[in-house]
Amino acid sequence: MNAIEMIKERRSVRKFKNEKVDRATMKEIIDISRWAPSWANYQVARYTLVDDAAVMQKLANDGVKGFVYNMSTLKNAKGVLVLSFVKGKSGKLDLEKEEYATSKANVWEVFDAGIACQTFCLAAHAKGVGTCIFGVIDDDSISEIVNLPEDETVAALIVYGYEEGEHVKPTSRKDVGEIMRFVDA
């Protein structure tokens, strides 16, 4: 699978086979994901993997704000990544100081997490593992359930597993003319 096919064919997968992805495969996927670029190469993304049914049930019950769509996807998935990042680094040029280098301040840490997120999803797709990113989540509750270190915050949940049935049909995209512009003098 080449890079273009990978980007275009990755879909949000919400139906999974009743088969766990083994931990060695997940380690391989994270090993690829860690090549994601990051602010000043601080590499603030952290990957907490849950494949234990009881912990996943807790995440479904308390980690997605009762959003039934995510609850049912989580109950169906065989694993979930809690993607987090180390706070207070991205956006700074000098880690010894409090000040951020740009008007976006610490927003760059979420930006870094976003890049890590897509890199993970693409790496998983390349290894035949389906993923779906969840933004409707309860950060505090998730942090408590997985015992996240104090200096980290949750960016997203990403459920994963082997896709059940046919690959999800392509979702729509805006026309390129609608989203790009050139600037001439």
Residue of the chain from 33, 38, 43, 70 that contacts ligand FMN (CB under 6 A): 70
CB nearer to ligand FMN: pick between 92 and 130? 130
On whether the CB atoms of residues 113 and 11 are closer than 8 A, the answer is no
Maximum Cα interatomic distance, the chain, rounded to a whole number of Å: 60
Indicate the residue type of 102.
T
- What SS3 state is found at 112? helix
Interface map 10-49 toward ligand FMN (x if CB under 6 A):
-xx-------------------------------------
Q: Identify the DSSP state of 39.
A: G
Burial 88-119 (b: 16+ CB within 10 A, else e): ebbbbeeeeeeebeeeeebebbbbbbbebbeb
CB nearer to ligand FMN: pick between 21 and 132? 132
Q: Is 172 in the site for ligand FMN (CB under 6 A)?
A: no
Q: Is 171 in the site for ligand FMN (CB under 6 A)?
A: yes
Scan residues 71-90 and list those touching ligand FMN (CB under 6 A): 73
CB of 27 to ligand FMN, least distance (A): 24
- What SS3 state is found at 10? coil
Q: Is 154 in the site for ligand FMN (CB under 6 A)?
A: no
Scan residues 122-151 and list those touching ligand FMN (CB under 6 A): 132-136
On whether the CB atoms of residues 113 and 90 are closer than 8 A, the answer is no
Stretch that binds ligand FMN, among 41-49, 51-59, 65-73, 83-91 (CB under 6 A): 65-73
Backbone dihedral angles phi then psi of residue 107, each to the nearest 5 degrees = -60, -25
Residue nearest ligand FMN (C-beta atom): 135
CB of 93 to ligand FMN, least distance (A): 27
Token digits of residue 12 = 């949000």
Report the interface residues with ligand FMN, using CB under 6 A. Answer: 11-12, 69-70, 73, 132-136, 168, 171
